[in-house]
Amino acid sequence: MKRTSRTINVVQAYAEGEIGWVVTSGIMNLLGENIIEKRKYLINERDDLRQFLLYEPRGSVHTSVNLLLPPTDPEEADIGLITIETIDYPPISGSNPICTVTVALETGILAMVEPVTRVRIESPVGILQAVAQCQNGKCERVAVEGIECFIFDSDVALTLPNGMTISVDIVFSGAFFLVVNAEDVDLELCSESVIRIVEIGKEILIAGRKKLRVQHPIVPDYDTVGFVLFTTPFNADEEAVKGAVVIPPGRLDRSPCGTGTMSRLMALFAKGQLGVGDELVQESILGTRFKARVLQQTNIGGYPGIIASIEGRAWITGHSVFTLDPSDPFPQGFEPPNLWGRARAMLE
C-alpha cells in the first residue's frame, strides 16, 4: 500500500504574534482564470484543503495558512496569494502577506534585493505592492501597500444579549470590522483580561451578525461582519494605541491585527482625527506593533475611503511536510467540538 496519498510543503512563520504558515508546494491545480476565481473554487469545490491544513492534528484554531501561488499574469504580479483561516477565506489580511513575502524572500522563491525588494501580490482584492526592507539575507520589515478601506457606518447603536447598548463603527479593511471603544464595555486591554476580551468580543460579534447588515458595494460576496476590534481612545501625542481583535469562532489575535489596525486608521480618518500621510501604530497585548498609513483618500462604491498600507515584521520558525496516510480515519482532520462550543453554532 502506498503510505502517503497527499504531500504538502509548509513553511511555518508568524508576524508580530499571529501565526501565518505558507504553503510552498503540493497544492493541486486550482481552477479559475484569476485569484478571485481560484478562491471561489476552493470555497465551493475544494474546502477539504482548508480542513486538511487547519483542522487538528496538523493545524489549530490559532493558525492561518497562505497559499503561495503563481500569478495569473507574471507581467502584473510576482506571486499569487490566497489566505485561509480556520473557518473561512478572508479576502485579505495584514499579517499574512507580511509572512508570505518574508517566506518567499528568505527561502529564495523570489530573489532578494538589498536594501529594498519590491513584490507585487495578486490577491482577492487586487494587486498589492509589498516593500520589503532587507539586510544580510534577512527580510527585516514588510510594508503592504494598496489596501482599500472604507467606512460603512459610524456610531451605530448595537444592543447586546445582556441588554447593554454600545456604539460601534463599521469599517471594511479587507473584512468588515466592528470597532469598539474598550472603555465602553469596561475592558482593560491587557494579558490578564484575555478571557473576558474574547467572551465579550464573541457576544458583540454574534449580536452584530444578527442585527447589522453589511454589504461591500463592489464585491457582493463580502457581506458578513468578520471581526471585533477593541481599542483604547486615540491620543495624537501617544506613540501607540492598544488594540485587541476577536476572531471567529472565538479567539484573540495575538498580533495587533493588520486589517484591524487599518480599520482603526479608517475610522479615525473618517472622523477627521487623521489625514493623508498620517500613521497609526497599534500595539497588541503582547507588546508587538503594526504601523498603518493613509496613502491617499478615495471613494469606494459611494463610501468614503482610503488607500492604506500596513507594516510589520515576520519570522520563519520551521519547515514541515504534511502527509496523509491512506489508512488515516480522519483524512481531512478533525474539528473538536469543545474548541468551538456555543459560539461556532451561533455564528453559522
The model's confidence at residue 262, banded by pLDDT at 50, 70 and 90, is very high
The three cell numbers of residue 212 are 447589522
Residue 340 pLDDT: 45
Classify residue 264: in a domain, yes or no: yes
Classify residue 272: in a domain, yes or no: yes
Mean pLDDT of 162-174: 93
Residue 219 pLDDT: 82
Nearest to residue 134, comparing CAs of 101, 159, 164, 156? 101
Could you tell me what percent of the chain has a pLDDT over 70? 96
- Residues labelled as active-site residues: 93
89 or 313, which is more confident: 313
CB burial string 122-153: b at 16+ within 10 A, e below: bbbbeebebbbbbeeeebebbbbbbbbbbbbe
What does the alpha-carbon distance between residue 92 and residue 262 come to, in Å, rounded to a whole number? Answer: 12
CB burial string 273-305: b at 16+ within 10 A, e below: ebeeeeebbbbbbeebbbbbbbeeeeebeebeb
Nearest to residue 341, comparing CAs of 248, 233, 260? 248
Q: Are residues 334 and 296 in the same domain?
A: no
Q: From residue 108, give the alpha-carbon distance in Å to each of 6, 102, 113, 185, 232.
A: 24, 10, 11, 47, 40
Mean pLDDT of 200-208: 93
Mean pLDDT, rounded, of the chain: 91
pLDDT at 28 over 70: yes
Q: Are residues 156 and 279 in the same domain?
A: yes
**How many CA atoms does the CB half-sphere of 15 hold within 13 Å?**
33
Residue 173 pLDDT: 94
Q: Are residues 91 and 158 in the same domain?
A: no
Residue 152 pLDDT: 96
What does the alpha-carbon distance between residue 124 and residue 90 come to, in Å, rounded to a whole number? Answer: 9
The angle subtended at Cα 10 by Cα 283 and Cα 43, nearest 5°, is 80
* CA–centroid distance for 106 within its chain: 22
How do residues 279-288 score in pLDDT, each as one tens digit? 999 999 999 9
Classify residue 1: in a domain, yes or no: no
pLDDT at 342 over 90: no
The model's confidence at residue 336, banded by pLDDT at 50, 70 and 90, is low
Classify residue 262: in a domain, yes or no: yes
- Domain coverage including residue 267: 149-310
Residue 3 pLDDT: 73
Q: Are residues 90 and 181 in the same domain?
A: no
Q: What is the DSSP letter of 28?
A: P
Q: Is 69 exposed, middle or buried (0-12, 13-18, 19+ CB in 10 A)?
A: middle
User: Which of 18-27, 83-92, 163-172, 294-303 has the lowest average pLDDT?
Assistant: 83-92
Mean pLDDT of 121-149: 95
* Number of domains composing the chain: 2
What does the alpha-carbon distance between residue 101 and residue 91 come to, in Å, rounded to a whole number? Answer: 17
Nearest to residue 73, comparing CAs of 107, 44, 34, 43? 34
Q: Are residues 170 and 290 in the same domain?
A: yes
Q: Are residues 94 and 167 in the same domain?
A: no
Q: Are residues 108 and 181 in the same domain?
A: no
Cis previous bond, 115, omega within 30: yes
CA dihedral 50, 62, 85, 90 (to 10 degrees): 180
Q: Are residues 301 and 271 in the same domain?
A: yes
The model's confidence at residue 1, banded by pLDDT at 50, 70 and 90, is very low
Q: Are residues 118 and 87 in the same domain?
A: yes
CA dihedral 220, 216, 181, 271 (to 10 degrees): 180
Contact between 232 and 136 under an 8 Å Cβ cutoff? The reply is no
* CA–centroid distance for 132 within its chain: 19
Residue 102 pLDDT: 98
Residue 337 pLDDT: 52
pLDDT at 346 over 80: no
pLDDT at 338 over 50: no
Classify residue 282: in a domain, yes or no: yes
pLDDT at 86 over 90: no
Mean pLDDT of 233-242: 89
Q: Are residues 160 and 303 in the same domain?
A: yes
Could you tell me what percent of the chain has a pLDDT over 90? 77
Helices (H), 212-285: 258-270
Q: Are residues 252 and 339 in the same domain?
A: no
What does the alpha-carbon distance between residue 115 and residue 119 come to, in Å, rounded to a whole number? Answer: 13
- CATH number for the domain spanning 17: value is 3.10.310.10
Q: Are residues 175 and 200 in the same domain?
A: yes
Categorise residue 271: left if φ over 0, alpha if ψ from -120 to 50, beta otherwise. Answer: alpha
Residue 2 pLDDT: 59
φ and ψ at residue 188, rounded to 5 degrees: -105, 125
